[in-house]
Structure 1
Amino acid sequence: MSELAPIKENGKALSESNKGELLQYLTFKLIDETYGINVMQIKEVLRYSEIAPVPGAPSYVLGIVNLRGNVVTVVDTRVRFSLPECTISDDTRIIIIEHDGEQVGLLVDAVQEVFYLYQGEIEQSPSVGNDEALKFIQGVYQKEEELVILLELNRMFERNEALGIEAMS
C-alpha cells in the first residue's frame, strides 16, 4: 500500500494534524504592505464606485454606498490604520464583509489573490508599528518572499470601535 504524499505549501511539507485547521485568505494591498482577511468573513469584492459622504461620521468612515438596495458603510482602511489617505485608482476595491449581521465595506488599494494556510502557520505579530493598526492584527504569515499581515476584523468592529458605523447602517 502506498503512502499519500504530504500536502505542500510554499515548498514545505505539512501535516494537517499538527498544523490545525486549513484556512483560506484573500490578500490586498495598502501602500506597500500586504494584508489578509479570512475569506469566511468576506461577502464580495466590488470595484470602486461613488461613495456618498455622511456628515458627522468618524474620520475613517468615507460614507455609504447602495448595494442592491442595502445601505453599506464604507471605511477607509488606510485611515483606520493611521496611514495616509487612499488615492483612488483603477485597482481600488471595496471588500464587503459582514459583522454582527451588518455589511461593511473596506476600501483597499488593490486586491491580490486567495491562498491557503494552516492555523498553526500563523505567527504572532511583532510589536512594531503604530498601536492603532496593531490591535487589529491576528498574526503574520511568511508567504514565499512576502510577509502577509493577517487581520482580525472582529477587533476592528468591537462595540467601542464601531460606534460611528452602527449609527449609519
Structure 2
Amino acid sequence: MSSAQDVEAMTKADTAPYVTFSLAEETYAIDVLQVQEVLKVTEIAPVPGVPDYILGIINLRGNVVTVIDARRRMGLDDRESDEASRIVIIDVDNQNVGILVDSVSEVVRISPDSVEPAPEVGNDDSSRFIQGVTSTEEGLTILVDLNRLLSDDEWAQLREL
C-alpha cells in the first residue's frame, strides 16, 4: 500500500458516515447507521390526538411507520412538501420512524475531531436536538441527536401504542 492509500485508509477509519439533509436552508446530518431508507413523500394518514409535529402514519411494506415533521419538531416554520421533500426512515430502539425533511443531499464522512459542541442559544427549542456542528466546504453542518429528537414524554407514550 502506498503512503497516499495509508493516509486515505486512516482518514476513513477516523471518520463516520452521515446522511445530510436540508431544513429551512440549513444542512443537517444524522448517523447513516440509523437510516434504513429514504422515500419520496407518499400519502400520510393523520392520527387524531397526537402532537402537531406528528404528521401521521404510512404503510411501509406492511409495517405501520409514524412520520414526524422535522421542521415542526425543531420549531421551524412550516413548508408544503414538494418534489424534493423526502421521508427518511430511521431506526430508533428497534422501531422504524419516518422524518419528513425538505430534501436529502448526500452521505458525507465527518471526523469526530471536527465536531464542535452545540452552541448555547438560550432556550431555543431546536438547540436541544443538536449534537454538535461541523464546518465543511459548503458551510456549517448541524449534527442531529435522534435520541433527543424522539425522547420526550409525548413521544414515549406514542411508542407504546
TM-score by length of 1: 0.85
Q: How does 1:1-169 map to 2 (within 5 A)?
A: 4-5=3-4, 6-7=7-8, 21-128=14-121, 131-160=124-153, 162-168=155-161
Tell me: CA distance 1:46–1:129, structure 2 relative to 1, closer, same or farther (3 Å): farther
Deviation at residue 132 of structure 1 after TM alignment: 1.6
Letter in 2 for 1:162: W
8 Å CA contact 2:51–2:154 kept in 1: the answer is no
8 Å CA contact 2:131–2:144 kept in 1: the answer is yes
Q: Secondary structure of 2:90's match?
A: strand
Tell me: CA distance 1:83–1:130, structure 2 relative to 1, closer, same or farther (3 Å): farther
8 Å CA contact 2:54–2:67 kept in 1: the answer is yes
Deviation at residue 117 of structure 1 after TM alignment: 1.6
Q: Secondary structure of 1:46's match?
A: strand
Q: Percent identity?
A: 46
Between the aligned partners of 2:22 and 2:58, the Cα distance in structure 1 is 22
Letter in 1 for 2:70: T
- What residue ranges of structure 1 are gaps of 5+ in the alignment? 9-14
- What residue ranges of structure 2 are gaps of 5+ in the alignment? none
Tell me: CA distance 1:96–1:131, structure 2 relative to 1, closer, same or farther (3 Å): same
Letter in 1 for 2:140: L
Moved more, 87-96 or 125-134: 125-134
Between the aligned partners of 1:77 and 1:130, the Cα distance in structure 2 is 18
Letter in 1 for 2:99: L
Deviation at residue 121 of structure 1 after TM alignment: 1.3
Deviation at residue 140 of structure 1 after TM alignment: 0.5
Q: Deviations over 1:9-38 (max 9, x none)?
A: xxxxxx65xx98420011101111110011
